[in-house]
Amino acid sequence: MNIPGDLKYTEGHEWVRVEGNVGYVGITDHAQHELGDIVYVELPEIDTEIESKEEATNIESVKAAAPVYSPVSGKIVKINEDLEDNSELMNTDAYGAYIFAVEMSDLSELDSLMDADAYKEFLEKE
């Protein structure tokens, strides 16, 4: 299972890539594997204010639906419109295909997220 070392992770199987004060959010390899072929993602609206652990969007496969929670609080400043027609990118390129990006209001929230090793351990326990 692929778990890049430079990202932060949540128990809900989301990852965050930090670029300055913007956090790019996607779902992990484990999550896409569990869901199966992803057929649809409901992209959030730009400028939406979001809280950490608040539901940002929803991903669908044929047989499942999963909420995606934002790992950080802030304002949504970017969404990955590629996913509208190519939702399968989340399967083939889980860590390259971000879903939305948050201009973070509280960078210290990142400290409570898991790093790659912790996430690996977490997956082994599940």
Stretch binding other proteins (CB under 8 A), from 17-25, 54-62, 69-77, 105-113: 54-62
* C-alpha to C-alpha distance for 22 and 62, rounded to whole angstroms: 32
Nearer to other proteins, 16 or 79 (CB): 79
Residue 29 vs residues 9, 21, 50, 92, 98: alpha-carbon distances, Å: 11, 24, 24, 9, 12
Residues in the chain: 126
Residue 73 vs residues 3, 38, 113: alpha-carbon distances, Å: 23, 26, 13
Stretch binding other proteins (CB under 8 A), from 5-13, 35-43, 95-103, 109-117: 35-43
Which residues from 69-98 bind other proteins, rule CB under 8 A?
A: 87
Single residue of 64, 96, 107, 117 touching other proteins by CB under 8 A:
64
CB 18 within 8 A of CB 26: no
Per-residue binder mask for other proteins (CB under 8 A), 106-125, x = binder: --------------------
* 60 in contact with other proteins (CB under 8 A): yes
Chain positions contacting other proteins, by CB under 8 A: 37, 39-40, 42, 60-65, 67, 87
